Chain A
Amino acid sequence: QSVLTQPPSVSAAPGQKVTISCSGSSSNIGNNYVSWYQQLPGTAPKLLIYDNNERPSGIPDRFSGSKSGTSATLGITGLQTGDEADYYCGTWDSSLSAVLFGGGTKLTVL
């Protein structure tokens, strides 16, 4: 069971918007930056969001991140079938001195 809690799955129709939550505590999300990763089937993870809400070059602005207190949220608008993937949040835990990942959320675009 992960220290960072994500919903196991979310789904939405093409063109719609979806949000994925990541809940933690003051020792991790509450006092450290959050990142988000997309893992397409059979491939390595890919960085989508870093420092809570920054997008690396090449990541479309359909993807956004936010953080409030001890929770973070990934938003995806204009859903495409190619967005079907597993999504993970990540952060540093100052008490554990460890990088943490959430358990992952499987996105289905119906």
Chain B
Amino acid sequence: EVQLVESGGGLVQPGGSLRLSCAASGFTFSSYWMSWVRQAPGKGLEWVANIKQDGSEKYYVDSVKGRFTISRDNAKNSLYLQMNSLRAEDTAVYYCAREGTSYYMDVWGKGTTVTVSS
């Protein structure tokens, strides 16, 4: 079964850091672009970042550039999101998603919740 499982969410103070992980199974992880997508409470979907199969290309939404870093470990079938200098507006459910050949997300995890609050 194709599956993505996120972990690492939690409560963090403004200015703090958190590292999210996404464990992939049931498919050849190293063959796919991967993305992080977030959804603030009661709001719509917002794409955060994506990464090429070999990690050589990465793209970010403007609001997280310089603060978040996407990475992957193909040997461990894992995707990561290092989040630094967190702000209240980063509070959201963070989803890991597999990308198809034209930037669509065909497999989604259940999400992990990040709350930034003092």
- Chain A interface residues toward B at CB < 8 A: 2, 32-33, 35, 37, 39, 43-47, 50-51, 56, 86, 88, 90-92, 96-104
Contact = CB atoms under 8 A, between A and B. Distances in A.
Nearest to B106: A47
Interface residues of B, number: 22
Q: From DSSP, what is the main secondary structure of chain B's interface residues?
A: strand
A41 B81 CA distance: 25
Interface string B79-107: 00000000000000001000010111110
Contacts of B108: 44-47
B27 interface: no
6 contacts: A32-B102, A50-B100, A51-B102, A92-B103, A97-B59, A98-B59
B59 A35 contact: no
Given A43-B110, A44-B109, A90-B47, 16 more contacts: A45-B45, A45-B95, A45-B105, A47-B104, A50-B102, A51-B104, A88-B44, A90-B105, A92-B103, A96-B62, A98-B47, A98-B59, A101-B37, A101-B45, A102-B44, A103-B44
B24 to A, nearest CB: 15
A74 B49 CA distance: 25
Contacts of A103: 44
Contacts of B109: 44
A57 B47 CA distance: 24
